[in-house]
Structure 1
Amino acid sequence: MIENRPFLKVLSHVILIFGVLLVAFPIWVAFVAATHDAGRMNILPLPMWPGGHFLENLDVALNQGVWGGDGQGVAFMLFNSMIMALVIAFGKIVISLLSAFAIVYFRFPFRMFFFWMIFVTLMLPVEVRILPTFEVVANLGMLNSYWGLTVPLIASATATFMFRQVFLTIPDELLEASRIDGAGPLRFFKDILIPMSQTNIAALFVILFIYGWNQYLWPLLITTDQDMYTIVIQIKRMLEAGEEAPQWHIVMMTTLLAMLPPVVVVVFMQKLFVKGLTETEK
């Protein structure tokens, strides 16, 4: 029997509310700054309530740009970030699914050796191997391209390990039943494994989309053409205004635009995300 203690219930709610306010306050400050003009943002104290320039600042950020942006808006940079995040997320999931499928359901020499070699790459993130990776990408002529932004980042040892663990929980009777029905390996993979892994795929998609969207170091290294800049790089460039003061109202508007796609993905896939991380039985 669970004891009903009103004091602990109230205390837990107070702590949760305080945590939400603590996390949301910077977002509120960014939103308020995005609704004021440049003159108000240069006057102390900073405003804590919205102004009337939201749509104007939105148009400037999307279509006109500011110092450090060479007069170009961030609309195409949002598109570049979207392409990068989606290709990385789908690429990691597809490669990891196929890798885990081969490791679990096929018997070939050094099978576990190759699995542990994949797992060992967790100790070699992009930051560690960035120079040789850059040289390979440059020699292949993939600088300033979507291929260069995404291909070096689509392999994932973590996702491979996760799908391997998921496949190991699937009963062998399903494999035997599919063989009796005349299904080949690809049919078993497509009709049995993928449907049973949908929640895990959804959870990984959310994580990997945010991972790809927030990439900074790799795009900064291989993109010199402004048409290939991502939104995260542009925010950094907007803060480096040279002799001019940053236009904080446009910077904060751009920050809100950069936060929007990951938030939308998390909100719309929240149930599948939580289910994919907590589901233990098939």
Structure 2
Amino acid sequence: MIERRPIATLMAHLVLILGVLIVAFPIYLTFVASTQTAEVIAQSRPLSLIPGGHGLETYQRALFGGKNDFGSELPAAAPMMLTSLISALVIAVGKIIISLLSAFAIVYFRFPLRGLVFWMIFVTLMLPVEVRIGPTYEVVSQLGMLNSYAGLTVPLIASATATFLFRQFFLTVPDELVEAARIDGAGPPRFFKDVLLPLSTTSIAALFVIQFIYGWNQYLWPLLVTTNEGMYPVVMGIKRLIAGESYTEWNVVMATAMLAMLPPAAVVILMQKWFVKGLVDTEK
């Protein structure tokens, strides 16, 4: 029987509330700034914590672009968010598909040096994109994939982490299922489709959330492989609104930052149940 301790429960809730306030306050401040004018934000006095009345106008300019007070063109966030969305979806889905197939091959197929192949994949965890960025860029450039979705996504699709997680889960699948499928005449493709995929749904959901956010937040790699403004993701767009301008419209910058947070937040909220279940299920 679990003993109820009101004081401990109260302290736990206070700590949680304090943590939420610490995390949420910068987001709220960003939202407040996005509803003010650039002149109000530029003032030296502390920014008001009450939202202003220019939110609709600011978000419209952030989404669809426009001109600032000096006549310079502001980049529109809508096409950049579409680029980020496509890239994040391709990276997340591609990582999951490749990792599922590679883990399935490593666990259920017998071939020479199978263990060595797995450890070669696993060792790549120590070689992030930043380390191999020079050779990767050279390959992408030689293949003519600069300023394209292929260049933005293909080098980031392979995932040793996801392969490792799926491999560990496949190792927990009872051998009786494999034998039963073999007796029923199910070949490897059917066993993979009808048995392993349904069992892996929670793991797939959890990894999709993680990999989608990873793909959405990419900055360094798109900075190298894109020179066409039409292929800029929204993270680069935020930087463009700040860098190289003598006059920065911080209200538009903050509105673009708020818009950039919406898709990842929506994915986490909509898939929260699957995400938590995929991480804490006892059979994982």
TM-score interval (norm. to shorter): over 0.9
1:128 aligned partner: 131
Q: Report the count of equivalent residues.
A: 281
Match of 1:25 in 2: 25
1:133-153 deviations in Å (ceiling 9; x for gaps): 000000000000000000000
CA–CA separation in structure 1 for the residues paired with 2:273 and 2:175:
28
CA contact (8 A) 1:66 1:247 kept: no
Over aligned residues, Cα RMSD in angstroms? 1.5
Q: 1:77 touches 1:229 (CA, 8 Å); kept in 2? A: yes
Give the equivalent residue in structure 1 for 2:57: 56
Q: Distance in 1 between matches of 2:28 and 2:66?
A: 23
Change (3 A) 1:279 1:4: closer
What's the CA shift for 1:2?
Answer: 3.3
Tell me what 2:251 maps to. Answer: 249
The structure-2 alpha-carbon separation of the partners of 1:69 and 1:179, relative to structure 1 and needing over 3 Å to count, comes to farther
Contact 1:69 1:237 in 2 (8 A): no
Gaps of 5+ in 2: none
Q: Quote the residue 1:2 is aligned against.
A: 2
In structure 1, the residue matched to 2:219 is 216
Aligned letter for 1:114?
A: V
Counterpart AA for 1:37: T
SS at match of 2:52: coil
Cα drift, residue 175 of structure 1: 1.0
Which position in structure 2 is the counterpart of 1:190? 193
Structure-2 residue corresponding to 1:11:
11
Q: 1:207 to 1:65 in 2, by over 3 A?
A: farther
Q: Which residue of 1 aligns with 2:279?
A: 277
- Is the Cα–Cα contact under 8 Å of residues 65 and 73 in structure 2 kept in the other structure? no
Q: Mean alpha-carbon deviation: is it higher for 79-88 or for 30-39? A: 30-39
Whole-angstrom CA distance in 1 between matches of 2:86 and 2:165: 25
- Which residue in the other structure is 2:141 paired with? 138
CA displacement, residues 105-150 of structure 1 (integer Å, 9 cap, x when unaligned): 0001111110000000001100000000000000000000000000
TM-score normalised by L of structure 2:
0.96
Structure-2 change in CA distance of 1:65 and 1:113 (3 Å): farther
Same amino acid, percent of matched pairs: 65
| CA spacing shift, 1:90–1:66, aligned 2, 3 Å | farther
How big is the shift at 1:5?
Answer: 2.5
C-alpha spacing 1:65/1:97, structure 2 compared with 1 (3 Å): farther
Q: TM-score if structure 1 supplies the norm length?
A: 0.96
How far 1:39 sits from its partner (Å)? 2.0
Matches within 5 A, 1:35-184: 35-43=35-43, 44-65=45-66, 70-184=73-187
Distance 2:66 2:165 in 1: 42
Distance in 2, Cα, partners of 1:26 & 1:72: 24
Instruction: Report the CA distance between 1:239 and its aligned residue.
Output: 1.2
